[in-house]
Amino acid sequence: MRSAADIKTPEIRCAKEKQLDQRSTVIIYSKDAEADRAFFKDVLGFNSVDVGGGWLIFALPPAEVACHPGDENDQHELYLMCEDLKAAIAGLDAKGIQCTDVQEPPWGILTTVKLPGGGRLGLYQPKHARPA
């Protein structure tokens, strides 16, 4: 009988062989994508490129992925990291953007903002070591 260590999936081989270039893309589905694009551009100040017809693709800062246990699969959350969450909240408040109450689990400090399309976007100041 083969052990788990003997089984090599294509995903593991790709990562070891560097066939994946370790970049990512995030897709936010929204009932008002145009308003959410304006929020990322005008409120958050993200750089973007128009790929045609006003369809903006935004540059993202460096990211990390964490796998947490859950009761269901296919649940994902997006948090924008910041060095000083209180300053970020104050900056958004000055633009009329309200954040939820700040939560402080052991691994970081977080809040969320409501996007114009109705979705939520997390803001997060990590307390843990970050990968290089």
Inform me whether the pLDDT recorded for 6 exceeds 90.
Answer: no
- Model confidence at 5, pLDDT cuts 50, 70, 90, reads very low
pLDDT at 10: 46
| Tokens linked to 83 | 């060095």
Task: Give dist(CA 118, CA 121) in Å, integer.
Answer: 10
Per-residue pLDDT reduced to its tens digit, 60-72: 888 888 888 999 9
User: Average pLDDT, stretch 73-102?
Assistant: 94
In three-state form (DSSP H/G/I as H, E/B as E, the rest C), the secondary structure along the chain is CCCHHHCCCHHHHHHHCCCCCCCCCCCCCCCCHHHHHHHHHHHCCCCEEECCCCCEEECCCCCCCCCCCCCCCCCCCCEEECCCHHHHHHHHHHCCCCECCCECCCCEEEEEEECCCCCEEEEEEECCCCCC
Task: Give dist(CA 64, CA 129) in Å, integer.
Answer: 11
- State pTM to two decimals: 0.76
Which domains can be identified in the chain, with CATH numbers? 9-60+77-126 (3.10.180.10)
Task: Give dist(CA 78, CA 25) in Å, integer.
Answer: 11
Per-residue pLDDT reduced to its tens digit, 35-55: 999 999 999 999 999 999 888
| Cβ pair 24, 63 in contact under 8 A | yes
